[in-house]
Structure 1
């Protein structure tokens, strides 16, 4: 895999400022089910490595690699990538610093069995054009019959249950409050985190673009991908009217 030229303009500032504490504050409770879902899906596709779009600190990539799968990553943050490499097994996951929505290098075209963006990473691309580019990039990286997987909030759930302030369960017991604010005119939302860290309050803001499953399907179709499965979570439970987010699986037709 060739290294992309690193562009600091695409670097998420929170990823650099809080890379050393990210796992303590924001470790997802769905990690085990995410890994199990992706490992099972990898068995269904053609041979080839997996690619973690937005590999971060290795929350998903490292457990998958520990199962014997070949996993690579691409991430914009040197700090988050350094955290991944410092963990046990970190040297087994090859990470390229760069923008995962950018076109792949020629040698990376058509060689991945499974490409995924977990933990709301895809929605951090906060314009429709960036999301379209990401889907096109994913499609170009996949071998025929390969899959692309992402998770995202359902906009109806964001509108009815997603606004407001609530505490966040943290690994180390740190005090973290999240305030989520919807911006319907821009089809975006922001999550502001107030973290009490060693006696001082720290602020983290992350912007996202939300979308309906129908819009996502259309963008995927334009990229040459077709929907093969949509669930109400990484556990594989059905998508229902009470679901708050979805996991969508697309395939590059053979």
Structure 2
């Protein structure tokens, strides 16, 4: 299996320098996500793949759900454990496609903020579904939040899609339609001048493609929504929240 974990670790270790424990809170911006996940987790436990600095895992823990995590970046986990001790929220360093988390009896495994696309090869994404399935208890749920590729915005011959454009930030994505790769370019601006530049590589994945991956892992689709508020998913939805279940 191809493995992009070393490349991703370098990227996210660098990004971790911009995270701080104070960034983690049960705010209005994440309340809908937490409501959704807490309901599925029930008495738990829950496992977050690509847990990062704990933006979702920590407030979910504070709501009373037992949570563990996996992340490719040791630096991210250091930030996480500056917020809550490892005894309260254990986290394993490794790829979410292969890493072992403590236990094999999770009521919920979830991936948020498009993190499934950080696995840069299709076989890694397939392996991630298998990894989630083997950590789930019978009847447990696997949830992924991810954007829907916006290929309809690409005129013939164009590979760039604009994202965020403000006085201080410019983000655009460049697509490779053959490999399903996207590079998200980020530019910080000050008075019209670029003061920093960077970006992250991704492999976009279609909802129907994920359903095949889930089926390969023995999981069945329960529902798909446009957002955490359970609004209907349509052909116009720019993102999806998918829920699969492991059979009893």
Q: Provide the TM-score with structure 2 as the length reference.
A: 0.84
- Out of 56, 62, 65, the residue aligned to residue 60 of structure 1 is 56
Partner of 1:19: 16
Structure 1 residue 127 corresponds to structure 2 residue 121: yes
For 1:11 and 1:217, locate their aligned partners in 2 and report how far apart those are by CA, in whole Å: 25
Contact 1:35–1:64 (CA under 8 A) maintained in structure 2: yes
For 1:177 and 1:240, locate their aligned partners in 2 and report how far apart those are by CA, in whole Å: 28
Contact 2:181–2:204 (CA under 8 A) maintained in structure 1: yes
CA pair 189-89 structure 1, distance change in 2 beyond 3 A: same
Partner of 1:33: 32
Partner of 1:3: none
- Out of 44, 49, 54, the residue aligned to residue 45 of structure 2 is 49
SS in structure 2 at match of 1:204: strand
Partner of 1:108: 103
Partner of 2:179: 186
CA pair 205-129 structure 1, distance change in 2 beyond 3 A: same
* Alpha-carbon shift at residue 104 of structure 1 (Å): 3.1
- Residue-pair matches, total: 235
CA pair 10-148 structure 1, distance change in 2 beyond 3 A: farther
Contact 1:85–1:91 (CA under 8 A) maintained in structure 2: no
Structure 1 residue 176 corresponds to structure 2 residue 169: yes
* Alpha-carbon shift at residue 183 of structure 1 (Å): 1.1
Which consecutive unaligned segments of at least 5 residues does structure 2 have?
A: 155-159
Partner of 1:163: 161
For 2:29 and 2:228, locate their aligned partners in 1 and report how far apart those are by CA, in whole Å: 7
Which consecutive unaligned segments of at least 5 residues does structure 1 have?
A: 1-6, 169-173
For 1:60 and 1:97, locate their aligned partners in 2 and report how far apart those are by CA, in whole Å: 18
Contact 1:230–1:249 (CA under 8 A) maintained in structure 2: yes
SS in structure 2 at match of 1:236: coil
- Out of 219, 222, 226, the residue aligned to residue 232 of structure 1 is 226
* Alpha-carbon shift at residue 253 of structure 1 (Å): 0.3
Higher relative contact order, chain-length normalized (CA < 8 Å, sep 6+): 1
Contact 1:104–1:140 (CA under 8 A) maintained in structure 2: no
For 1:231 and 1:208, locate their aligned partners in 2 and report how far apart those are by CA, in whole Å: 22
SS in structure 2 at match of 1:163: strand
For 1:194 and 1:29, locate their aligned partners in 2 and report how far apart those are by CA, in whole Å: 27
* Alpha-carbon shift at residue 10 of structure 1 (Å): 5.3
Contact 1:181–1:191 (CA under 8 A) maintained in structure 2: yes
**Aligned residues: CA RMSD:** 2.9
